[in-house]
Amino acid sequence: MADGGEASPRASVWSTEFRRSFKDLAHQGDATFDALVAADDERSQARHTRLGEASPAIPTVVYWFMVVSLAATVGAFAFGLPRRRGPAHLLLLCTLAILFTGSLLLIQDIDRPFTGQIRITGDAMRETAQDISEDFATDHPRAALPCDDGGTRTL
């Protein structure tokens, strides 16, 4: 997702196989598997939502239009200052330029949630995967995990 909302082929393979297995079992008439299919559909929808949120909403052309508009606005304001520019006028000009520039940088940073200064990291996902692996190893001490550390299937 840090690359702009690209879907991982590994996650797609796993989710497709889960869906296929759950739906095959659901056709046998057990209500438990219907609940699993519904939960898997919800998980799949949440994944698509996260991928959509990872894609920038502001196109690059629009962002650069805003940058050029900002530069023109600050420049016009600078030329509109009186000939006898006092320190208050220059301070106001610099303050406005910094505020407007900071606003644009903040908009860009928020628009790309997996990169930049304000970002969503994969730490919680890694901790969850580690907890699940530890639980599996505790419950099934002689069984091997069905994938390697990178998520590639081994079974």
Q: Which long-range contacts (CB under 8 A, 24 or more apart) does 12-16 make?
A: 13/153, 14/151, 14/153, 15/40, 15/43, 15/44, 15/47
* Residues 30, 106 within the same domain: no
pLDDT tier for residue 14 given thresholds of 50, 70 and 90:
low
Instruction: Say if 151 falls within a structural domain.
Output: no
pLDDT tens digit sequence for 82-128: 777 778 888 888 898 999 999 998 888 888 777 778 777 778 878 88
Instruction: Say if 65 falls within a structural domain.
Output: yes
24 vs 92, residue with greater confidence: 92
* Residues 67, 105 within the same domain: yes
* Structural domain span for residue 48: 9-56+115-139
* Residues 15, 47 within the same domain: yes
Instruction: Say if 153 falls within a structural domain.
Output: no
* Residues 25, 68 within the same domain: no
* Residues 124, 105 within the same domain: no
Instruction: Say if 147 falls within a structural domain.
Output: no
Q: Which long-range contacts (CB under 8 A, 24 or more apart) does 4-12 make?
A: 4/54, 4/55, 4/56, 4/112, 5/51, 5/52, 5/53, 5/54, 5/55, 6/51, 7/51, 8/151, 10/150, 10/151, 10/152, 11/47, 11/151
* Residues 48, 72 within the same domain: no
Number of domains in the chain: 2
* Residues 104, 134 within the same domain: no
* Residues 36, 73 within the same domain: no
* Residue 72 confidence (pLDDT): 92
Instruction: Say if 146 falls within a structural domain.
Output: no
pLDDT tier for residue 69 given thresholds of 50, 70 and 90:
very high
pTM, two decimals, is 0.51
